[in-house]
Amino acid sequence: MTNQSERVEDRELLRSPRAGEDFTTTDTWRVLRIQSEVVSGFEQLSRVGRAVSIFGSARTPEDHPYYELARKTAYRLSQAGLAIITGGGPGIMQAANQGAREQGGLSVGCNIELPHEQYSNPYLDIDVDFRYFFVRKLMLVKYSQAFIILPGGFGTMDELFEALTLAQTHKIERFPIILMGRDYWKGLVDWLHRTMLADGWISPADPNLFSLTDDPEETTRIVLAASEA
């Protein structure tokens, strides 16, 4: 099991240097660990092929409707020949990996070391561990052809808005960003239109960067259409 000192790499990296601290023994040498993590991630994921990333809360119980929605969606996408990549943990992530495994598709987890909540679920064919969130995000973006985002908390919102920002600023080729769980997302989508768009903080075309559906078949059609285009 990972000990507590190994679970705070992001916190140590982001902390300001302390007075009298020898910089060469901290941040400078930490770069080598980051480099190693990036290289390892590239090597392990480079042969995954066409894939989509599915995000959502680690706290979702197995009897929740959103768990079943994630499982069915991953099953259908796997049936269409796409690998499924998740954060590798429980909840929605486990549901998606389970759906991929049940269909016989490739199931990938990009796990992050955390003090709580996170452990590898039992449905992974490839399990890649990361210490740093930003390296993990790099892998999820680089090796995915679409992001499918189900209900979740701060981490899920972070992944959603990072993807939207990258697409909006053309830092990545535009690819489908699909929100599943209409009831959950309705308030946020309404706010984006009635406040953010109405006040001019985003452009009229920006809400078109994402789609909203509860249908695994429609999700699969959107992903495949973008892939073929």
Structure tokens that stand for 112 in this block: 């992050």
Average pLDDT score over the chain: 90
Range of the domain at 210: 4-228
Q: Average of pLDDT values for 12-34?
A: 69
Q: What is the pLDDT of residues 80-92, one digit of tens each?
A: 999 999 999 999 9
* Between 91 and 3, the higher pLDDT residue: 91
Q: 113 with 7: CB under 8 angstroms?
A: yes
Nearest-5° angle of CA 25, CA 28, CA 31?
120
Above 60 in pLDDT, residue 139?
Answer: yes
Alpha helices in the chain (DSSP H): 9-14, 27-45, 65-79, 92-103, 133-142, 154-168, 182-191, 216-228
Q: Bridge-partner residues for 204, per DSSP? A: none
Strands (E), 115-227: 126-130, 147-149, 177-180, 211-213
The CATH code of the domain that includes 173 is: 3.40.50.450
Model confidence band, residue 6 (pLDDT cutoffs 50, 70, 90): very low
Which position has the token pair 């690819």? 175
Q: What is the pLDDT of residues 108-125, one digit of tens each?
A: 999 987 766 568 999 999
How many structural domains does the chain have? Answer: 1
Q: What is the pLDDT of residues 205-227, one digit of tens each?
A: 999 999 999 999 999 999 999 98
Above 80 in pLDDT, residue 56?
Answer: yes
Alpha carbon distance 222, 31 (integer Å): 39
